[in-house]
Amino acid sequence: MGEVSQEIKRVRAQMEENEDLAILMRGLRGQNLRDTQFADDNIKLRLVEVDESSEFLPLVYEPSSISAYWGKRPRAVATRVVQLLSVAGGFLSRLAWDVINKKVKENEVARAIELREIVTSLGPAYVKLGQALSIRPDILSPAAMVELQKLCDKVPSFPDDVAMALINEELGQPWQNIYSELSSSPIAAASLGQVYKGRLKENGDLVAVKVQRPFVLETVTVDLFIIRNLGLALRKFPQIAIDVVGIG
């Protein structure tokens, strides 16, 4: 056992001498994580607003149904594509500048942090895609992988008056008829929605009241529609190793 322990220590020492491996090891040990990084008020969640329609959005991931729904709404799809390009455009231009000026390694950490913030602002679909990419050393550098491993979809909450109106609408009556009390602000917020603490009038039980963020379902499905179509287009180029459809 002593010889095995010594061998493990020797291998660890060698890994620490390699900068890229050292970064990955710190990430795997959780040394790159701090709770304060998971609720950034500077991150603005970007969603797509869709007019009410008699045709309901599919609630189950079925590519043909989602394609049929969004195929009839090219303006909304175009709006989301413009959002994506406006958010990522600056990052891509700076990344191209790094490549041209051979400063990729020098600016690697800064670009990785920027990428994580962009992915978070784009919402749940891209957070999940980023998390999938964070374990792909064949696609990303160690620094980028570690930053994407920090991905969490916690974002600033949406207005409480909007949340209360949604609760009333869902209940079909004022929330005061169901709850004796409801926290004035959320106790947790994420890209999908936020949670309030309530107490039931009927028996006094404390409950968590979850409120879905407006237009988040529409945004997630249009993102899946865009990602899938992009992935199918990229499959025509075998020299591109990444399978976006498979990752998503």
Is 140 in the same domain as 242? Answer: yes
N-terminal to C-terminal alpha carbon distance within the chain: 43
Q: What are the backbone angles phi and psi of residue 85, rounded to the nearest 5°? A: -70, -40
User: With pLDDT > 90 as the criterion, what percentage of the chain qualifies?
Assistant: 35
Is 1 in the same domain as 111? Answer: no
d(CA 24, CA 28): 6
Is 144 in the same domain as 227? Answer: yes
Is 18 in the same domain as 47? Answer: no
Q: What is the pLDDT of residue 190?
A: 80
Is 196 in the same domain as 239? Answer: no
Is 3 in the same domain as 61? Answer: no
Is 20 in the same domain as 128? Answer: no
Most confidently predicted of 12-26, 56-70, 124-138, 160-174: 160-174
Compute the mean pLDDT over every residue in the chain, rounded to the nearest whole number: 80
Is 133 in the same domain as 230? Answer: yes
Is 56 in the same domain as 172? Answer: no
Number of domains forming the structure of the chain: 3
Closest Cα to residue 120, out of 48, 192, 45?
A: 45
Q: Which residues contact 219 (CB under 8 A, 6 or more apart)?
A: 46, 47, 48, 80, 123, 125
Give the pLDDT band of residue 127 (cuts 50, 70, 90): confident
Helix (H, G, I), strand (E, B) or coil at 103: coil
Is 141 in the same domain as 103? Answer: yes
Give the pLDDT band of residue 38 (cuts 50, 70, 90): very low
Q: What is the pLDDT of residue 239?
A: 66
Q: What is the pLDDT of residue 100?
A: 94
Quickly list DSSP for 153-195. ---PPPPHHHHHHHHHHHHTS-GGGTEEEE-SS-SEE-SSEEE
Is 114 in the same domain as 182? Answer: no
Contact 46, 87 (CB under 8 A): yes
Range of the domain at 13: 1-31
Q: What is the pLDDT of residue 230?
A: 87
Is 39 in the same domain as 105? Answer: yes
Q: Which residues contact 88 (CB under 8 A, 6 or more apart)?
A: 118
Q: For the whole model, what pTM was predicted?
A: 0.70
d(CA 57, CA 69): 7
pLDDT single digits (tens) 88-101: 999 999 999 999 99
**What are the angstrom distances between the C-alpha of 245 and each of 82, 85, 144?**
21, 20, 21
